[in-house]
Amino acid sequence: MHQVRVAGTGLTPFGRHPDTPSRALFGEAGGAAVDDAGLAPGDVDAVYLGNYMGAVAESQGHMAPLAAEAVGTTAPATRYEDACASAGVAARAAVQDVRCGAVDVALVGGVERMTHLDTPAATAGLAAAADDRHEVSAGLTFPGAYALMADAYFDRFDADRRDLAHVAVKNHRHGADNPYAQFQREITVEEALDAPMIADPLGLYDACPFSDGAAALVLASDAAVDERGLDAPVAITGSGQGGDTLALQDRASLTETPATAAAARDAFEEAGVGPDDVDVAEVHDCFTVAEALALEALGFYEPGEAAGAARRGETARGGRIPTNLSGGLKAKGHPVGATGAGQLVDLVKVLTGVRDAGAGAGGARVGLAHNAGGSVASAVVHVLEVVA
Amino acid sequence: MHQVRVAGTGLTPFGRHPDTPSRALFGEAGGAAVDDAGLAPGDVDAVYLGNYMGAVAESQGHMAPLAAEAVGTTAPATRYEDACASAGVAARAAVQDVRCGAVDVALVGGVERMTHLDTPAATAGLAAAADDRHEVSAGLTFPGAYALMADAYFDRFDADRRDLAHVAVKNHRHGADNPYAQFQREITVEEALDAPMIADPLGLYDACPFSDGAAALVLASDAAVDERGLDAPVAITGSGQGGDTLALQDRASLTETPATAAAARDAFEEAGVGPDDVDVAEVHDCFTVAEALALEALGFYEPGEAAGAARRGETARGGRIPTNLSGGLKAKGHPVGATGAGQLVDLVKVLTGVRDAGAGAGGARVGLAHNAGGSVASAVVHVLEVVA
């Protein structure tokens, strides 16, 4: 088995690119990742693309060869889709293939464009990640789904809207320091609490925005890194994936996300580390309550304890487990098919010292990425470590 | 490295199931494959789903966990999409993961439903597999794309519409013997030649139909087969994938498909066999000319020689290289996201003696599956061999 190294990363700014087709967005991020690795497009053995709604939003299916072409290669290219976890599953596939020696150099990433759609069309496109027959046809969209989960959480535990407002405030504060973030401005707890309600108990600032953007990484085997003299100090040492029923109604609990727990278990086992070893995390905060659910399922907090983490300052820069230093989906933005790859890029920034985690002298050495699809019917977890 | 065995297969009839959602179609095929393997849904470690247009045709993205659920598992589930090669790339991912030991038992397959759409909607949905900005927006759909390729072929080589009519006649003859085929009836060369023109020089019988259906296989490592005492005499010994530009206009030639050639090269190298060793093939005949292009790129024929193969009887049962004994996409049908898995299921039928290839005393021992996406911007080739 080879060790899987991150040899290069690339991002477009996340935000509004309504007139830029996905192929061009991926060309920018993918090209930047190849350049950052010190490689040429012809060095890429295979392309792994996350994209969720290109067929609906751009009348463009079969996007993987097009994305590869935009980077300058006709290498084998495949699209992976698990809703908002699309780039997570793409990255997982690349990790497996590099690890096993099936490919030496993988270009993995994702892209999405949706801000050219009007709000009803974008909401409908996103809702297709829920169960069309048993949820969407009954009127449920994702703000509603996560509102049900937040309600259940508030009902079961000692937590309230103010706790969640602190999650939004913390992620906006982080986003303010990220030049690639969609929202580079701080908000206050009162602003969050006073914002229009979108699905009770979730207000506007509890939700991530519609976003366009792309993210990409070059992954290479340790052998390829050595042979080609690449600069690749960070390794992906663990990868896990979990599944669950698509519809909330079929779950035993609305406050637990077993798909995340299963993914974390496998990723930690592969990496040989546990939650206590993790210095920094990027987790899937499509809604503020999702950050709390993730932190609990990942093992950082006991059930009911994570909603208050931001309020207590534990998940901010310099805290016990700095979470979403990029700004998270909340402030960095959520170009659906790109998000899982963007999380990995942002963790590499922290682990290589480009972004400060406030971890003190030794810096952050172990990072965790958590990418979820739908109401966590799919979840992917990766563990990254500084190894060189 | 483990050997990858086929432990079970399942199919729905291919054809018209306009009122059956994809989840139910996959539940039927996937459940049959698990049953055929003598396993339970809980034995499945991961689900690999090919689907092309669920988000457009059924307002249902994130279909992989739903398909898994229909079989009775919440194992990690991922959707793979490369247009008409979606199940091919799904199968390739499963092969890689089983081979490397990442999973012991994989459920792989694909599903599509499209006959509930009217013809313009289905045609538009399929056209999204071409380049929306440089082909579709100029009026090109797939019948037109393959008509351009047929025209170029006729221009360059000594071949004509009658040659292609023989491909249709041959595949209809094969389909007549397949109880799962959409068209179980023979046609004549004159019927094919006299049929309405759909895109000159291609007539109605040069094209595959719109189809619904699902196909699935259980793949298991040789270790898992031995441990659990499974009956799995066929192995997938080679897997390859190739890519190309999405738009025809960017290709050097309209009569060559380098993505197929690249996929075949890698698959043959892995299996340690060559074209002369192959006893039976299922190739991607979305249009009759595509069968000829595939047979040439796969190395079975020199350029310009394959169009006449059906006319000369070489690709029929008992011929030199029996091709599309299932009826092919032409007569068996083409539920897009299921097709690549269906080809593998049909090859297993031949290699296990369920379907006669007319290969004589020893029977067929080596089979090849070729699944293509779009106008062959993606191609996947698998080699199957009887090993036990």
Would you state the structure tokens that stand for residue A152, as one six-digit string?
Answer: 């259940």
Residue A150 has what DSSP assignment?
Answer: H
pLDDT in tens, B179-222: 999 999 999 999 999 999 999 999 999 999 999 999 999 999 99
CA nearest neighbour of A188 among A204, A172, A201: A172
| Binary contact (B243, A102; C-beta < 8 A) | no
Nearest CA to CA, how far is A23 from chain B (Å)?
Answer: 11
CB contact under 8 A, A64 and B78: no
Q: Are the beta carbons of A374 and B244 separated by less than 8 Å?
A: no
Closest CA to A5 of A286, A335, A282, A352: A352
CA distances from A387 to A113, A143, A364, A366 (A): 35, 40, 12, 10
Average pLDDT, chain A: 97
pLDDT for B363: 86
Closest Cβ–Cβ partner in A76, A124, A131 for B66 = A131
From chain B residues 356-385, the ones with a CB under 8 A of any chain A CB are 373-374, 377-378
End-to-end CA distance of chain B: 18
Question: Dihedral of the CA atoms B333, B337, B340, B346 (nearest 10)?
Answer: -50
Residue B268 structure tokens = 């043959």
Does residue A111 belong to the interface with chain B, where contact is any CB pair within 8 Å? no
Tell me the chain A residues in contact with residue B136 when contact means C-beta distances shorter than 8 Å: 59
* Residue B262, min C-alpha distance to chain A (Å): 9
From the candidates A84, A166, A172, A208, give the one annotated as an active-site residue: A84
Tell me the average pLDDT across A48-76: 98
B78 and A241: CB-CB below 8 Å? yes
CB within 8 Å of chain A, chain B residues 241-260: 241-246, 250, 258-259
Annotated catalytic residue within A166, A172, A284, A334: A334
What's the Cα-to-Cα distance from B378 to each of A76, B216, B374, rounded to whole Å? 7, 21, 7
Q: Which burial class, exposed, middle or buried, applies to A184 when counting CB atoms under 10 A from its CB (0-12, 13-18, 19+)?
A: middle
ipTM of this predicted structure? 0.98
Contact call for B243 and A74, based on CB within 8 A: yes
Residue B375 one-letter amino acid: S
Nearest to B237 by CA among B27, B362, B54, B384: B384
Contact B65 A80 (CB under 8 A): no
Token readout for B319 is 């011929």
Residue ranges, chain B, pLDDT below 70: 361
Q: Is A123 on the interface with B (CB under 8 A)?
A: no
Residues of B acting as catalytic residues: 84, 334
- Contact status, residue B115 vs residue B210, Cβ threshold 8 Å: yes
Q: Which one has a higher pLDDT value, A118 or A362?
A: A118
Find residues 36-55 of chain A whose CB sits inside 8 Å of chain B: 46-47, 52-53, 55
Q: Where are the alpha helices (DSSP H) in A176-315?
A: 189-194, 222-228, 258-271, 288-297
- Give the one of A56, A62, A82 whose C-beta lies nearest to B64's C-beta: A82
Please calculate the CA angle A189-A288-A124 and round it to the nearest 5 degrees: 120
Shortest distance, CA A130 to any CA of chain B (angstroms)? 7
Residues of B in contact with A378 (CB under 8 A): 62, 64-65, 76-78
Distance from CA of A57 to the nearest CA of B (A): 10
Partner residue opposite A58 with nearest CB, options B132, B258, B374: B132
Specify whether the CB–CB gap between B8 and B37 falls below 8 A: yes
Size of interface A-B (CB pairs under 8 A): 175
For residue B243, list chain A residues with Cβ-Cβ distance below 8 A. 47, 64-65, 68, 73-77
Q: Which of residues 271-300 of B touch A (CB under 8 A)?
A: none
Chain-chain contact of A378 with B100 (C-beta, under 8 angstroms) = no
**Do B62 and A124 make contact, defined as CB atoms within 8 angstroms?**
no
Comparing C-alpha atoms, which of A2, A66, A8 is closest to residue A40? A8
Express each pLDDT in A149-201 by its tens digit. 999 999 999 999 999 999 999 999 999 999 999 999 999 999 999 999 999 99
pLDDT for residue A361? 67
Helix (H) or strand (E) holding A235: strand A234-243
Tell me if B65 and A136 make a contact (CB, 8 A cut-off).
Answer: no
Chain A residues near residue B372 by CB distance under 8 angstroms: none
Would you say A67 and A251 are in contact if contact means Cβ atoms under 8 Å apart? no
Yes or no, beta carbons of B378 and A77 under 8 Å apart: yes
Sign of the CA dihedral running B142, B143, B145, B149: positive
pLDDT (average), residues A339-350: 98
* Cβ pair B373:A82 closer than 8 A: no
Percent composition of chain A: helix, strand, coil (DSSP 3-state, to 5): 40, 20, 40
Q: Is A387 exposed, middle or buried (0-12, 13-18, 19+ CB in 10 A)?
A: middle
Sequence letter at residue A274: G
Is B292 within 8 Å of B305 (Cβ atoms)? no
What part of B 321-360 touches A (C-beta under 8 Å)?
none
Helical (H) or strand (E) element with A280 = strand A280-282
Assign A360 a pLDDT band (cuts: 50, 70, 90). Answer: confident
Answer whether B100 touches A (CB < 8 Å): yes
From the list B82, B93, B242, which residue is nearest A62 (CB)?
B82
User: Which of B74, B80, B129 is nearest residue A61 as measured by Cβ atoms?
Assistant: B129
pLDDT band at A24 (very low <50, low <70, confident <90, very high): very high
Tokens of A171: 């992620």
Task: Nearest chain A residue to B81 by CA: give it.
Answer: A79
Residues 57-76 of B with CB under 8 A from A: 58-62, 64-66, 68-69, 73-76
Res A362: pLDDT? 75
Identify which of B59, B131, B262 has the shortest CB distance to residue A128: B59
B211/A130 Cα distance (integer angstroms):
25
pLDDT at B362: 75
What residues contact A118, with CB distance under 8 A and at least 6 apart? none
Considering only CB atoms, which chain B residues are within 8 Å of A244? 65, 74
Task: Burial-class residue A361 by CB neighbours within 10 Å (0-12, 13-18, 19+).
Answer: exposed
pLDDT at B359: 77
Q: What are the chain B neighbours of A263 within 8 Å (beta carbons)? A: 76
SS3 per-residue string spanning chain B: CCCEEEEEEEECCCECCCCCCHHHHHHHHHHHHHHHCCCCHHHCCEEEEECCCHHHHCCCCCHHHHHHHHHCCCCCEEEEEECECHHHHHHHHHHHHHHHCCCCEEEEEEEECCCCCCHHHHHHHHHCCCCCCCCHHHCCCHHHHHHHHHHHHHHHCCCCHHHHHHHHHHHHHHHCCCCCCCCCCCCCHHHHHHCCEEECCEEHHHECCCCEEEEEEEEEEHHHHHHHCCCCCEEEEEEEEEECCCCHHHCCCCCCCHHHHHHHHHHHHHHCCCHHHCCEEECCCCEHHHHHHHHHHCCCCCCCCCCCCCCCCCCCCCCCCCECCCCHHHHHCCCHHHHHHHHHHHHHHHHCCCCCCCCCCCCCCEEEEEEEECCCCEEEEEEEEECC
